[in-house]
Amino acid sequence: MKTTGHMAVLTILGLSLAIPAMAQQGGDATYKAKCAMCHGADGTGDTPVGKSMKVNSFKSDADVKASDADLAKVTKEGKGKMPAYAGKLTDDQIQQVVTYIRTLQK
């Protein structure tokens, strides 16, 4: 009987470790599909489109200091020449992209 309990604990532990990785993968794929053209693979905005639109780098002090809610709001509502993604991406997808952006800031 102890083996069953141990297996349950290990299964839960394994799932809890896998969920952040899956969220990052989802955010990574969405970022590549929707954001990288302007913001660049590394988030610095160093792309032809990013340069022409004067895209801010995600590594800038302002973006590093911005809250996740602030980044999600800009993604949903748009800002300047950036289009709004409300209705195009779910709230979960937007949060996954924000989580992925945080990995680019390191």
User: What CATH code is carried by the domain that includes residue 74?
Assistant: 1.10.760.10
For residue 26, tell me if it sits in a domain: yes
What is the pLDDT, as a whole number, of residue 25? 61
Please count the structural domains in the chain.
1
Could you please report the per-residue DSSP string of 15-47? HHHHHHHHHHHHHHHHHHHHTHHHH-TTSS--S
For residue 3, tell me if it sits in a domain: no
Separation between Cα atoms, residue 5 and residue 32, nearest integer Å = 41
What is the pLDDT, as a whole number, of residue 73? 98
For residue 99, tell me if it sits in a domain: yes
- Give 10-residue mean pLDDT values along the chain (106 residues): 48 47 71 96 96 95 97 96 96 97 96
For residue 44, tell me if it sits in a domain: yes
For residue 11, tell me if it sits in a domain: no
For residue 68, tell me if it sits in a domain: yes
Domain with 83, as residue range(s), is: 21-104
What is the pLDDT, as a whole number, of residue 38? 96
Please indicate, yes or no, whether the overall pTM of this predicted structure exceeds 0.95: no
